[in-house]
Structure 1
Amino acid sequence: MTFSLSRLGFGAGGIGNLYRAVSDADAEAVVTAAWDAGIRYFDTAPHYGFGHSEKRLGAALAKLDPEQRAIISTKIGRRLDPVAPGTDLTQPRQAFVSPEPYESVFDYSYDAVMRSYESSLKRLQRTRIDILYAHDIGSFAHGAQHASLFRTFLDGGYRAMRELRDGGAVSAIGLGVNEVAVCEEMLAHGDLDVILLAGRYSLLDQSPLASLFPLCDARGVKLVIGGAYNSGILATGVRSGRVAHFDYGPPPAEIVERVGRIEDLCARFGVSLRAAALQFPLAHPVVDSVIPGMARPSQVADALAMVEEEIPEAFWAAMVAEALLPADAPLPAAQS
């Protein structure tokens, strides 16, 4: 890539009304808070609220960033089709409570990618998109249909993405996924500039360390880390009695036990669990940015504080000593 991403980015799923409705005023307020705090990387997708997130992000940045200095990433791979007549738009659809009369349908074809790109430009009110990700390709999302959809993507959607990049319409292309295997599979078939990997490099999952990260390093592919809280359990913890989620569902017993042990170490060393969760992935040299979801100004302030919190090196040493992190994982250095 010809640009660097901010260490902390903005995940815009929340302003697409993920799980709950957010007002237009609150959506604008959280984007403004992020901009005022110096965040310059914003990630969205047509799927987030069926265009609602892109529209809101575009409207806010049109006021805040008329020179279009922000780095924007969005995604292809989900076509927006009209909902059935009579659909109640006040009820959750595909996890979003959106007033947009659409639903998303996977489509990795050439024409769908080109239409998706043009539609995203309009919703975002931008003259260009910096990073274009292929959304949720892989077995994690598609199971037995993966092989067929992946071939469609290679023959169609990926070709369209390359044309957009090579023609200068976008600066970088990549995958936005929740699994390691498809990243390695894709790199065996073509080149990528950046990968947005959600939930797979965190305090609870270091699966990319063995092969994907060395491959990215050798190929010059940068990583953006989403899902650093693993769907929330590394934000809420398990000691408070609050409902915890892991990988979009209830956490298994072994994950609850592991998070509890991490929380105990955090208490011993006076460390915030959220700070450890955000700072750990940033220590790896192939990782450019971590992008927690933000739907309220308070979440922006919290993320900024967590990224800057001083964490003693003894905490990280204890995490390794208690086999909560592998010995070969790069660890954050004490901040000066």
Structure 2
Amino acid sequence: MFKKRQIGNTNLKVSELGFGAASLGNLYKAVSNEEANCTLDAAINSNINLFDTAPRYGLGLSERRVGDALRELPSSDYVISTKVGRILTPDSKANVKELRYGFDTPMPFDAHYDYTYDGIMRSFEDSLQRLGLAEIDILLVHDIGVDTHGDKDSYYYQQLSESGYKALAELRQNGLIKAIGLGVNESEICERVMELGQWDCFLLAGRYSLLEQDSLDSFLPKCEQHGASIILGGPYNSGILATGVKGTSVPHYNYEPAPQDIIDRVSKIEDVCEQFDVPLAAAALQFPLGHSSVATVIPGMGSERRVNKTVELFYHDVPTAFWLQLKEAGLLHPDAPIPVKDAN
């Protein structure tokens, strides 16, 4: 049974290991309905209670699959998180035989950014329909910020600041959702939106990991002051902390082939892993939970086998001496809190 941690100042409590459902939107490759069902059943049977999805994941496919798996369960058994910021519209000319937005999905829709009050309200209602659920627990603003929007960042940020945040606050105040936050790959935008009002959590992918801890200098302290929890996505930094760098495959970091300095750093971390007989992926999965602001870690899990292996890695015994050795070698931020072993 996974321990649970609180989301911000809400009453929501989530398992320390959560389920990232991008893979079930057929990210890069198709996953059959049968395999998707088996994957979700394995996560439920492992007592994972947080399921994170989004309209973008397979243009609605992931939400449909997650909703189908959760619908028969008591709502108290799970926490469902989805996202706003994109509206899906029918596209009769969609080529469902090729990748669209990175997904091999049969869903004949297109996606359009919209962070306005009306856009967020419509996205919320559409997600309820696709999920087939009466409630959504956590609503996250998806992919706001410079990394996604470049020179249109100010345009979309203005939508969120002038009316979009009002929609989120209204939904929360009326009890239609329990928590609001962002789902992004950059910490800067999370700090920026704190000026708009009270956020409960930030789903941040890859920016606090075994490989990088710059968030300790600014972002994580601000989250503590703000009262916002972190849902930590991308604990493997796009795969390099799962595969390592000593095999024959090309290691990936930040969705691209890893640069040499990153490869060198991971190689040194792997050396310490070998010294303590700790799988690199186990260390990557467990490290972020050493920080009190991190409520849960949600790696992508696209198969039943992957779920079972991830649970095994999560529970792998990692001695305190391992973390201390990484610090001594200069491979962890000196102020990085390390996971504490719980006898229970």
What TM-score bracket applies, with the shorter chain setting the length? over 0.9
Q: How many residues align?
A: 334
Aligned to 1:41: 50
Supply the distance in 2 between the matched residues of 1:139 and 1:281 (Cα, whole angstroms). 25
Structure-1 residue corresponding to 2:65: 56
Supply the distance in 2 between the matched residues of 1:305 and 1:2 (Cα, whole angstroms).
Answer: 29
Q: Structure 1: which amino acid aligns with 2:249?
A: R
Equivalents in 1 of 2:76, 2:290: separation in Å? 29
Counterpart CA distance in 1 for 2:313 and 2:233 is 15
Please give the alpha-carbon distance, in whole angstroms, between the structure 2 residues aligned to 1:335 and 1:249. 36
Deviates more, 1:220-229 or 1:186-195: 186-195
Cα separation, 1, equivalents of 2:165 and 2:59: 22
Shift of 1:103: 2.1
Greater CA drift, 220-229 or 99-108: 99-108
2:154 partner letter:
A
Describe the SS at the equivalent of 2:55.
Answer: coil
Tell me, yes or no, if structure 1 residue 246 matches structure 2 residue 253: yes
Mapped contact 1:68–1:126 kept (Cα < 8 A): no
Matched with 2:145 is 138
Alignment counterpart, residue 257 of structure 1, candidates 260, 264, 268: 264
CA contact (8 A) 2:165 2:196 kept: no
Deviation beyond 6 Å, 4+ runs, structure 1: none
Question: C-alpha separation between the residues in 2 aligned to 1:24 and 1:13?
Answer: 14
How far apart, CA to CA, are the structure 1 residues paired with 2:33 and 2:183? 26
Cross-structure match for 1:23: 32
2:84 aligns with one of 68, 73, 76: 76
In structure 2, the partner of 1:185 is: 192
Give, as a single letter, the amino acid of the residue that structure 1 aligns with 2:204. Answer: L
Tell whether the 8 Å contact from 1:238 to 1:260 is kept in structure 2 after alignment. Answer: yes
What pairs with 1:101-116 in structure 2 (closer than 5 Å)? 101-116=108-123
Shift of 1:88: 2.1
Q: Does residue 211 of structure 2 align to residue 204 of structure 1?
A: yes
1:67 Cα deviation from its structure 2 partner: 4.3
Q: Which amino acid aligns with 1:55?
A: R
Choose from 309, 313, 325 the match for 1:306.
313
CA contact (8 A) 2:231 2:294 kept: yes
Name the counterpart of 1:233. Answer: 240
Residue 158 of structure 2: SS of its match in structure 1? helix
Deviates more, 1:128-137 or 1:317-326: 317-326
Give me the whole-angstrom Cα distance separating, in 2, the residues matched to 1:68 and 1:23: 28
Partner of 1:169, secondary structure, is coil
| Structure 1 partner of 2:15 | 6
Find the partner of 1:117 among 106, 111, 124: 124
The answer to whether the 8 Å contact 1:180/1:207 transfers is no
After superposition, the C-alpha distances for 1:87-110 in whole angstroms (9 at most, x for unaligned) are: 320211010000000122211111
Residue 97 of structure 1 aligns with which residue? 104
C-alpha separation in 1, matches of 2:105 and 2:76 = 26
Percent of residue pairs identical = 46
Question: Which consecutive unaligned segments of at least 5 residues does structure 1 have?
Answer: none
* SS of structure 1 residue aligned to 2:12: coil
Higher mean alpha-carbon deviation, 274-283 vs 184-193, is at: 184-193
SS at match of 1:103: strand
Deviation of the 1:66 alpha carbon: 4.5
Cα distance, 1:83 vs structure 2? 2.9
Displacement of 1:80: 1.0
1:279 equivalenced with 2:281 (yes/no):
no
Counterpart-to-counterpart distance in 1, 2:190 and 2:183? 9
